Structure 1
């Protein structure tokens, strides 16, 4: 079974994303900030990471840069999900190694579509 790590400081977002991602066939784990996510990835690298941008302790962009420089960290596919809609920030996320980018709020259809796109890459 494919695995996904949902990284967001909002427990509500984690719960909603988890439910949708589990429904499309993934085993899901959660992290509430980038540091927690990095520690989980160091123990067991997921196939996909659903990542928030703005979080305490370590932001999503800081996490992504650290992940991509870590041995094995180039493997997971990363979907950045945030309220940030600045084109410069989207470009920064993609340059740092994000595979997809989506805006909050999201719904089931949008999230499922992003996962389908990742599966095709």
Structure 2
């Protein structure tokens, strides 16, 4: 991601293009391909010489934008999937490839994810 004078020069050179294209050309794209507009605008303002306060209000004291925040809400998608999301898996310390048994507790309406031990004979049924 460009910053400072390099960012201003590139943005000026592309000033006849849409904002999204300028932000992409300056490298403000996340790992998933999502445009990081807030980071782009913040960098532009700082490159112009204005100091912005950091937003380290909750949690890990890391300053700057932290992207989307966990809302502790989700919904069932049109295809029937229920997405938990990266914010929650990271907060729980889960790693890619970990496996879980899903238990549904109808009396409470809750879903439990129970970690599977590697090589466990208690593997979940494939057709559930």
Bucket of the pairwise TM-score, normalised by the shorter protein: under 0.3
- TM-score, normalised via structure 1 length: 0.24
When you count helix as a share of all residues, which structure comes out higher? 1
User: Relative CO higher for 1 or 2, CA cutoff 8 Å, sep ≥ 6?
Assistant: 1
User: Which has the larger Rg?
Assistant: 2
